[in-house]
């Protein structure tokens, strides 16, 4: 897999922000810039990288909190998010930060995406899949040209777990259905880069995930 992947994990919610760059390029993807944008900016400077885009898998506060700082530094990098979560960028109640007593908002989206869209930034051709359940407008970005495939998965599925579904627009039925139909149909060696915790693979989660995998009754 010929790609540079750097992870900046925020301390408070242990949310993963990913920086992905292809060899020989200085533009990159920034995925889910979280609560410590200063650390993300420092890593970008150290790596000599410039964001081509700020990708948000969904609009919860721990995944969008860094949008403002990065957008101010790199105004040409569009903020991209699923159409169903666009309101969360600009509404602290919707993105759940108001409930913590520290309202956080982001600049509005520059581009909204939906199921089946194909987007290209920094040399990455990404397909968009909508998988609601943790958040109504949650999307994943799939880089199928990679060997193996890479899934920028946000809070849909983690190593041995899944995203919370007890939030205001959550649904375990939607989440599990989306995982089965749109992730478990990928190759077993596809790598999932989740919003929290370590990377995993589709094959591992199909076999071992207690919520949506074989232990929960899943059969391919």
pLDDT given for residue 220 in this prediction: 85
The answer to whether 33 and 54 are in contact (CB under 8 A) is yes
pLDDT at 108: 98
Query: Is residue 95's pLDDT more than 90?
Result: yes
| pLDDT, greater one: 207 or 2 | 207
Tell me what pLDDT residue 1 has. 66
Tens of pLDDT, residues 28-84: 999 999 999 999 999 999 999 999 999 999 999 999 999 999 999 999 999 999 999
Report how far Cα 169 is from the mean position of its chain's Cα atoms.
Answer: 18
Contact predicate 127/117, CB 8 Å:
yes
pLDDT category, 9, cuts 50, 70, 90?
Answer: very high
Q: Mean pLDDT throughout 166-191?
A: 98
What pLDDT sits at residue 12?
86
d(CA 175, CA 49): 34
Whether the CB-CB separation of 9 and 198 falls below 8 Å is answered with: no
Q: What is the DSSP string of 164-203?
A: ---STT--HHHHHHHIIIIITTS-TTPEEEESBS--EEHH
**How many other CB atoms are there within 10 angstroms of residue 62's CB atom?**
23
pLDDT score for 82: 98
**Both ends of the chain: CA-CA distance in Å?**
27
Q: What is the model's pLDDT at position 120?
A: 98
- Render pLDDT for 127-176 as a digit per residue (tens, 0 to 9): 999 999 999 999 999 999 999 999 999 999 999 999 999 999 999 999 99
- Structural domain for 36, as ranges: 4-216
C-alpha–C-alpha distance, residues 58 and 44, integer Å: 22
- pLDDT at residue 116 above 70? yes
Mean pLDDT of all residues in 190-206: 98
Domain CATH number, residue 15: 3.60.15.10
Dist CA 218 CA 143 (whole Å): 25
Query: How many helices and strands in the chain, by DSSP H and E?
Result: 6, 14
Cis peptide before 196 (omega within 30 of 0): no
Number of domains composing the chain: 1
Distance of CA 149 to the CA centre of its chain: 15
Structure confidence at residue 179 (pLDDT) = 98
Decide if 153 contacts 111 (C-beta within 8 A): no
- Chain-wide mean pLDDT for the chain? 97
pTM of the model: 0.97
pLDDT of residue 191: 98
């Amino acid at each position: 897999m010929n790609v540079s992947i750097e992870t900046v994990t925020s301390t408070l919610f242990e949310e993963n922000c990913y920086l992905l760059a292809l060899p020989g390029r200085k533009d990159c993807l920034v995925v889910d810039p979280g609560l410590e944008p200063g650390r993300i900016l420092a890593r970008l400077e150290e790596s000599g990288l410039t964001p081509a885009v700020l990708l948000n898998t969904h609009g919860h506060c721990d995944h969008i909190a860094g949008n403002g700082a990065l957008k101010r530094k790199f105004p040409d990098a569009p903020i991209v998010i699923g159409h169903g979560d666009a309101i969360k960028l600009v509404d602290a109640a919707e993105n759940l930060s108001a409930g913590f007593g520290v309202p956080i908002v982001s600049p509005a989206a520059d581009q909204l995406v939906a199921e089946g869209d194909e987007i290209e930034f920094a040399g990455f051709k990404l397909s968009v899949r909508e998988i609601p359940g943790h958040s109504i407008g949650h999307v994943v970005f799939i880089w199928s040209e990679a060997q193996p495939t890479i899934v920028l998965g946000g809070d849909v599925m983690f190593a041995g777990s899944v995203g919370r579904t007890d939030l205001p627009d959550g649904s375990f039925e939607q989440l599990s259905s989306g995982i089965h139909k749109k992730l478990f149909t990928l190759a077993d060696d596809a790598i999932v880069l989740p919003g929290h915790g370590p990377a995993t693979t589709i094959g591992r989660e199909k076999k071992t995930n207690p919520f949506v995998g074989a232990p929960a009754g899943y059969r391919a």
